[in-house]
Amino acid sequence: MATLHQTSTTFPFKSALFISFISISLFHFLTPSQKTLTLSHHNATPNNTKSTTKYIVRFTEYRKAEHLRQYLESRVKCGGWEWIERRNPAMKYATDFGVVAMEESQRERLIGEIGRLAMVKDVNVDLSYERDLLGINGGGAFVDGKKRPGKIFTSMSFNEGEHYAMAATSNSSIHWGRRLLMQKSQVTSLFGADVLWAKGHTGAKVRMAIFDTGIRSDHPHFRNIKERTNWTNEDTLNDNLGHGTFVAGVIAGQDLECPGFAPDTEIYAFRVFTDAQVWELTANNIIMVSAIGNDGPLYGTLNNPADQSDVIGVGGIDYSDHMAPFSSRGMSTWEIPHGYGRVKPDVVAYGREIMGSKISTGCKSLSGTSVASPVVAGVVCLLVSVIPESSRKDILNPASMKQALVEGAAKLAGPNMYEQGAGRVDLLESYEILKSYQPRASIFPSVLDFTDCPYSWPFCRQPLYAGAMPVMFNATILNGMGVIGYVKSPPTWHPLSEEGNLLSIHFTYSEVIWPWTGYLALHMQIKEEGAQFSGEIEGNVTATIYSPPAPGEKGPRSSTCVLQLKLKVVPTPARSKRVLWDQFHSIKYPPGYIPRDSLDVRNDILDWHGDHLHTNFHIMFNMLRDAGYYVETLGSPFTCFDARQYGTLLLVDLEDEYFQEEIEKLRDDVISTGLGLAVFAEWYNVDTMVKMRFFDDNTRSWWTPVTGGANIPALNELLAPFGIAFGDKILNGDFSIDGEQSRYASGTDIVRFPRGGYVHSFPFLDSSESGATQSVLLTSGMTKADSPILGLVEMGEGRIAVYGDSNCLDSSHMVTNCYWLLKKILDFSSANTRDPLLFSDSAKQDAALYIDDNQLPSRRTDVNFSLYSAVVRKDLICRSDSRFEVWGTKGYNLHVRGRNRRLPGYSVIDLGRGLNSTVDTSSLRRPKFTEKSKGDSSGNSYWGMLYGDEHDVPVLVASHWLVPVAVSITGLLLFLSIWRIRQRRRPRRRGSGSVRLSNL
């Protein structure tokens, strides 16, 4: 779906531990001011008057540079500083940093004053380097035998003619392998590089800057090492790890045992470990090729910046064209919950045991996506050298190169689109595309075929049907016509047959396509008249893109893009087979520190995989489809779905809060409408969260979990109307239900449950006191106490099942799965099918589980939860992932088509104000429901009369049958009153005075 915030911010953990990327840059005849953008000198003397130093000021918000400058000027009253204007294609767009030159005499005072401003994150010296365009400063790292001051050891010499530069960076660990494959590992031959070598294309007059671990100046594998620069704190230019040398060898090595793709490429080696500002790089015509990461085979594990639309994300395959197990999988996850991730990786390349250069001499083999990405980087270098120099500035840019790669790629037979993207890179096919390339726009991917399995997974696993939530697909617009572009008019759907009119598509798309790329999101629904249709629908979606004219052109450039659709449609399934997955209340890192769910996992401290049906719950999704269930995704509040259409609402591992309207609607949906509710919770313990706090060197700030594995206080409020609550224990251990072995990994316990329900308890150790960094204590002599972890109960017309752990459904760090349990729970909640295994007499509760409110888990008061929440201090609104008829409203029965409606038994809702706008995380209050005390049994009489079994639950009689009775009585009295009035009027019409007296 729509790319909501295309931000390439560097966050802790992922940038430091997981990201590995190679970037390739094309500096197309930039002006000197533009060239100074990415590499500017750290020490300068403006106007040749006073000694000044440049500093990078990072802000906490993204604003236009002009606004940030005005902010500083209005608050920094003392002189001695100057804002450095950036003149480049990115200057008109939002940024989170600025460059400020400070006089040496005022430096300390200015840094202190600026650093104390509310919107300033930090102030650091600009450690980049200005390219010496005129050559007036000379070259080399040493002057008169002494090293130049600062961390920069050598000058750059980009003034030597009109060349093109390529850049490559990598800052992540990879899988090391040392078994030589000799001829098979010469990846250049596998891609046919020798064909282009024979034509004389070897990377000549192409400049490549490698941002990695450095390189030796006299390495025998390289012909053209032009410059070496150190941006680290270590006093050396050489490569001490070998990764930078290896990457350079794959791209530009000349050794016969491990040749590179473009041996004549000029190498500029930057010894660094940090990310660049991706948008500013690509806006300046820099092609970035990024490894997607080595977190496979887990889904939703793309690394930044590979998950950005203007970056070419590369996955890894082996020599049999099978996905490498270590290669991360898509989809991109930062668009959710309101959107849907894009297809990533873009392409794949060989990444297992690739031969490259050693630190000193000789070759070695390595594996990883950070090995596959220099393969693509070498391909790009070679392709650039194919284009005549006179045409490069008109043809080559990040979009055109990505078009050549994805359109020329060979689709593999087995993997799906979120594993392989467009497929394996094909050098020669991309060469043919670039030979005749004319600037144009296109859509990637250009085909969405629901009948093409397994490539079109997950879309090919579940067909469309009337009444469902929109099926979303997020395509990427590649605009090779210019760095900026626009969608001329709303895209249109062109069905190939009459049946295609049953499909209704709403579009959301980028208002501005920049830099080079944008999004086109399709929200697809089958109209109600197609409720019994079964078959296929085919057609095309077209969109026209235009860009400002290029230099020398008079009119704007224009191009029409086409996306081919082939969809499978079935009749609307029965209610009992439809399951709704709650995505709205899931919070993903970033922006907050959301801790992992299983505390036994030590090497992955974040819950960052998206918690989506098509990422870390993809195996569960496939299992439910195999079991005959149709699973839809809800990315908006509970008020935005019609409960009469679904058998079960599935809540798994949720971290967000709930609107008051959601709590009230869910209560009514379950009790009156018969909706089933299945809840899989997680651990929540404040003491454990506090122990997980740490200082992050990357952001220079303390990081603390904003919640536990799940937001238990919020879940308890949601379940309060049903008399159900979870506690704050952290339980671990193995258990068995009638031979079904399961693992309970960092789950919580049930502390409230109504009488008459069925509760299963097992002996576990509580590890909450030991903290998150310690293993579960298995000391001999320690006794395990029985803890309730599974509860099932019939509640009004609906049914509820709660379980205290979600790890057994999450494929990321699963020990054992509990799909068998989920299926039995859904059979109960959706169709009231009771498995004797779960509904044994021994599990039935003769007395309610109950603890006082002050013993329930409480929220943290030291976390501003509104920064991460989609609920706290936010408006309740149905977004574009809801049914079309409630888009932009507050939902069913609340604000449909602009009318205020009063729900039966509820107070009037003020739709004119911002809902939840005054809620503070430190004072979130419980909804006021009438609850009976533990010893009170009077409330059970109502439920006993209506449903037979007695349950200890809040008294909700007024909303269930007293209100209808009251309405009926009122209607009867009103009828009698009208009848009496009519009786009075009859004698008047006759004009009989005697009758009038008798009536008096």
Residues with a known catalytic role: 212, 243, 370
What is the rounded CA–CA span in Å between residue 721 and residue 718?
Answer: 7
Separation of first and last alpha carbons in the chain: 73
Distance from C-alpha of 563 to C-alpha of 585, rounded to nearest angstrom: 32
Q: How far apart are the C-alpha atoms of 332 and 347, rounded to whole Å?
A: 14
Show the tokens assigned to 446: 């250009």
Structure tokens at 528: 């109600």
Residues 6+ apart with CB under 8 A from 983: none
d(C-alpha 279, C-alpha 94), whole Å: 10
Q: What angle do CA 152, 155, 156 make, to 5 degrees?
A: 120
Q: Are 198 and 188 in contact (CB under 8 A)?
A: no
Tokens of 637: 């509040």
- Please state, in angstroms and rounded to a whole number, the distance separating the CA atoms of residues 637 and 877: 7
Q: What is the C-alpha to C-alpha distance for residues 960 and 631, in angstroms, rounded to an integer? A: 29
C-alpha distances in angstroms, 497 versus 460, 470, 493, 566, 568? Answer: 21, 22, 12, 12, 14
Q: Which of 553, 515, 599, 987 is nearest to 771 (CA)?
A: 599
| Amino acid in position 306 | A
The rounded distance, in Å, linking the Cα atoms of 464 and 4 is: 25
Both tokens of residue 339? Answer: 């959107």
What tokens appear for 8 in the block? 């390439």
Q: Round to whole Å and give the CA distance between 366 and 389.
A: 34
Torsional sign, CA 853, 857, 863, 864: negative
At which residue do the structure tokens 């909706």 appear?
675
Contacts of 621 (CB under 8 A, 6+ apart): 458, 461, 613, 614, 631
Preceding peptide of 591 cis, ω within 30°: yes
Q: How far does CA 922 lie from the centroid of its chain?
A: 27
Read off the amino acid at residue 699: T
**CB-based contact 608:589 (threshold 8 Å):** yes
Phi and psi at residue 503, to the nearest 5°: -90, 130
